Structure 1
Amino acid sequence: MTIKAQPRRTNIGSEHPETYRALAEVAKRAEEAALAEGLTPVLIELVKIRVSQINGCAFCLRIHTLDALAKGAGAERLSLLPAWRESGYFDEKERSALALAEYITDIRDSHSNTGLYGSAAAHLSSGQMSAVSWVALVINSYNRIALSSAYEVNP
């Protein structure tokens, strides 16, 4: 039996570095906006981790889990993030931000999941809704770059 070799993946960030740098600038501005709207550094990382969990991006999960721990997120909270709805570890603002991030990430179901958006709007200001949306949009982009470019994740 012949095993087909996998085609070499193009690292799109390396291939078009100016475009990648532009995304990095958007990411920086999204995080600045989130902080300016009163979102905590830990909450910003929780959004990035949750989006990366949904997308299955090991590369971004590793980075943002370490970042969250460095910013004071507890390991126990991080371990419960996939089941945030069932745990009492997340406050209303965090729950709202996570719901919004899931709504934006799982876009194929956005028409049937408008309740996620509505529940987010109940506890976040308009500015916070926008900032969380930008953070989620940017990490979704990074997830897609890492996955499509087959970034390696080794110990």
Structure 2
Amino acid sequence: MAERIDYFEVAKEPLKAMTKVEQVLHESSIEFELREMVKLRASQINGCAFCVGMHTDLLRKKSVPQEKLDFLPVWEEASCYSSRERAALAWAESVTLLAETKVPDEVYEQTLDHFSEQELVDLTWCIAAINTWNRMSVAFRREPEKSA
């Protein structure tokens, strides 16, 4: 598929704002590996090849075990994820698919078992941000970057 509008060039002010959001999230209470796994899972759900490639590469560079990358689409059936990671992934899926899930109370309660209020808000901002990036990249068919 051909890339459409280069939104990085056309909308520089919103891009600066989103970049600032990412900088704030980088300093948030959510650890890097978990933050990136949540971004990767949301990107898989949204079918964003650009973001899947980017977040997979970031996790590989941080030496995240390959099995965590391999089994992410089926995380509920894999034993390699901690209970905290499972809670974050369930929350990420519910928030990403909110039109379908309405973010059930059960998922909310399970997530609060593993995250403080601050962490849950930070995690949710992370999910909201990646969903924005996914929608822009899919809508404008941003091509995945070539691996080095």
TM-score, scaled relative to structure 2: 0.90
Which residue is 1:24 aligned to? 19
Which residue is 2:95 aligned to? 104
User: How many percent of aligned residue pairs carry the same amino acid?
Assistant: 31
Q: 1:25 and 1:85, CA in 2 relative to 1: closer, same or farther beyond 3 A?
A: same
Contact 1:99–1:117 (Cα < 8 Å) also in 2: no
Following superposition, which runs of at least 4 residues in structure 1 exceed 2 angstroms of deviation? 6-13, 110-118
* Deviates most, 108-117 or 76-85: 108-117
* Deviates most, 116-125 or 127-136: 116-125
Q: Show CA shifts across 1:34-91 (max 9, x none).
A: xxx2x32111110110000000101000010010111121111110011111111111
* Equivalent position amino acid for 1:72 in 2: S
Q: How does 1:88-127 map to 2 (within 5 A)?
A: 88-111=79-102, 113-127=104-118
Q: How does 1:1-155 map to 2 (within 5 A)?
A: 9-33=4-28, 37=29, 39-111=30-102, 113-153=104-144, 155=146
Contiguous gaps of at least 5 residues in structure 2: none
Contiguous gaps of at least 5 residues in structure 1: 1-5
Aligned residues: 146
Contact 2:51–2:134 (Cα < 8 Å) also in 1: yes
Q: Which has the larger radius of gyration?
A: 1
Contact 1:100–1:117 (Cα < 8 Å) also in 2: yes
* Deviates most, 115-124 or 90-99: 115-124
* Deviates most, 13-22 or 109-118: 109-118
Whose relative contact order is higher, 1 or 2, with alpha carbons under 8 Å and at least 6 apart?
2
Which residue is 1:3 aligned to? none
Contact 2:4–2:142 (Cα < 8 Å) also in 1: no
